[in-house]
Amino acid sequence: MYNNGTSPNEAAAIFNIPSPGMIRKWRIQSESHGIDALNPRKRGIQQ
């Protein structure tokens, strides 16, 4: 998206992601917290 100017709608269509909103969310997370923010987090109490 950044390098070639693709919109979230276009990126969602290219990668077969059902929601362009998800692309926007990933972009905002990566911009504010870095690429590690996109890694899945463990849920629940960790022991």
Q: With respect to residue 1, please indicate whether it lies within any of the assigned structural domains.
A: no
Element (H, E) at 14: helix 8-14
User: What confidence score (pLDDT) does residue 45 get?
Assistant: 82
What gap in Å lies between CA 17 and CA 6, rounded to an integer?
14
Q: Is residue 12 part of a domain?
A: yes
What pLDDT score was predicted for residue 1?
A: 61
pTM over 0.85: no
Render pLDDT for 35-46 as a digit per residue (tens, 0 to 9): 888 888 888 887
Q: Is 41 within the bounds of a domain?
A: no
**44 assigned to some structural domain:** no
The tokens describing 44, both together, are 């629940």
In a domain, 2, yes or no: no
Q: What is the pLDDT of residues 3-36, one digit of tens each?
A: 778 899 999 999 999 999 999 998 899 889 998 8
The count of domains in the chain is 1
The domain of 15 spans 8-36
Instruction: Please check whether residue 21 lies inside any domain of the structure.
Output: yes
Residue 2's pLDDT band (cuts 50, 70, 90): low
